[in-house]
Amino acid sequence: MVDKSQAYEDKFKGCIVGLSIGDALGMPVEWFTRSQIEEMGGISEYIDPINKFKDILKAGDYTDDTEQTLALANAFDKNGYNEDKFIENLLYWYNHNPIGIGPTSSKALENLSKGIKNGMPSETCGSAMRTAPLGLFYFDNLSKLVEKSISVTKLTHNSPNAIAGALSISFVVSKCLIHGIAHNTYDKYRLEKGGFDDGLGAIEKLRDVYEKDVGAFLNRDLEDDDISKYEHPEASHSTYSKIIEYNKNIIDKKRMEKGYDPILFIGERDIKRPYEYPEFRQTIEDCSHLLIDTSIEFSEKIVDILEICENAHNNNYDKKVILEGYDKLGTGINAIEAVPSAIFSFMISNSFESSLLNSINAGGDTDSIGSMCGALAGTYYGFNAIPKKWINDLSNHEHIINTSINLYNLKVMD
Ligand SMILES: [Mg+2]
């Protein structure tokens, strides 16, 4: 049986460290086109920057994406996100040579320093790139996840698509955590038992393991159940009722009951890419639903990811087809391009490493797409699945790891 605390801590660390690694891998080629990156042999490790960061940063350094994520991750207390602390952290960074700061953040932070909190009417991914910690902390509380993702974004990026991008990242991170723990539980159990061929007993034991974990409520008749018995010991009391309310209201109930049976998914598991799991396809659909009130355009773009993934899948993940997928989604700085490309990279790859390399070698806003993809892949695969060399050669990695552990400790604090 998986040690729950360890499993959760591994996901928190994986998310924040994974995000930083994606930033550091993408930093040297930010704004290079795909063909330019290809001409130099592709990116497969940290290199010294050959763009605007030349002679400013070195291999393994990260940029604003990580800095702002750390500013957010360090703005929590045991009650959750603290806006005053986040603003204080952002302004501290802004006032100490903020390398790589984007044009929107620059103006917005100048305003914030004067107490103006309205943000700029910007459509970039400047907030989506930093909201992953909200997906971790509020993975069990959808209404808070939504509320905080919106308010964190509006401080600097006040536009429907920027907000939709931030919501997408925090929402998908929360699902990466939940599905990742379920899959790890299965893997551990399968390794211990040597498979599930010993009949119903093993399935029942797995169900027992799973029901004690966060996905417990998902395979129940949500309407009639006493939800308190599925409560995660580390979660606040009302959180599941809010998620269930959301599920009832927005998602077709029959589909939920079928689609979210973790035993069915886990039983089918012999495939490796997130897209190939029904629960991740459902996650993308749910994400699209979640965005309808914020931006129809963004909501539809999220659905496009599924179609493009399906096409890649049907073509055996042929490189040409995957690259056409990036062309359709776009790899620019705007949230409506960068966020779907980051999610797409994660969905069609089968490891932390390949997720990151796919996302960066697609070109464009490589550090932001890499960091958002790194947050998803790092959460799903966990810290222990990240190549040690990428961790050891990442600048300030101990500080980044400690920040993620601190966030985890706050989450599980009574
Ligand atoms: Mg950057």
CA of 23 to the centre of ligand 1 (A): 7
Other CB atoms within 10 A of residue 354 CB: 17
The closest alpha carbon to 246, from 281, 211, 275, 222, belongs to: 222
Distance CA 346, CA 183 (A): 16
> Using an 8 Å Cβ cutoff, are 235 and 140 in contact?
yes
Distance of CA 58 from the midpoint of ligand 1 (Å): 14
Could you tell me the distance, in angstroms and rounded to a whole number, from the CA of residue 367 to the centre of ligand 1?
A: 5
What mean pLDDT, rounded, does the chain reach? 82
Distinct helix (H) and strand (E) counts, the chain: 20, 2
The alpha carbon of 145 and the centre of ligand 1 are apart by a number of angstroms equal to 24
**C-alpha distances in Å from residue 328, one per residue of 61, 287, 305, 324:** 30, 19, 9, 6
Query: In angstroms, what is the span from residue 389 Cα to ligand 1's centroid?
Result: 22
- With vertex at residue 42, the alpha carbon angle to CA 348 and CA 27, rounded to the nearest 5 degrees, is 85
Residues around the ion ligand 1 (C-beta < 5 A): 63-65, 100, 367
pLDDT in tens, 345-361: 999 998 899 999 999 99
Burial class for 91, CB neighbours closer than 10 Å (0-12, 13-18, 19+): middle
Distance 342 CA to ligand 1 centre (A): 14
Question: Tens digit of pLDDT for each residue in 103-121?
Answer: 888 999 999 999 999 999 9
Separation of CA 370 and ligand 1 centre (Å):
10
Q: How far is the CA of 99 from the centre of ligand 1 (A)?
A: 8
Query: For residue 97, how far is its CA from the centre of ligand 1 (angstroms)?
Result: 14
Higher pLDDT pick, 210 / 85: 85
Instruction: For 235-284, write each residue's pLDDT tens digit.
Output: 333 344 444 444 334 333 433 443 433 333 333 344 479 998 888 998 99
CA distance 283 to 232: 21
Helix H or strand E encompassing 77: strand 76-77
Q: Is 41 exposed, middle or buried (0-12, 13-18, 19+ CB in 10 A)?
A: exposed
Q: Can you say whether the dihedral through the CA atoms of 95, 102, 143, 215 is positive or negative?
A: negative
For 292, the 3-state DSSP assignment is: coil
Q: From the CA of 129, how far away is ligand 1's center (Å)? A: 9
Which residues in 307-412 belong to E strands, given as ranges? none
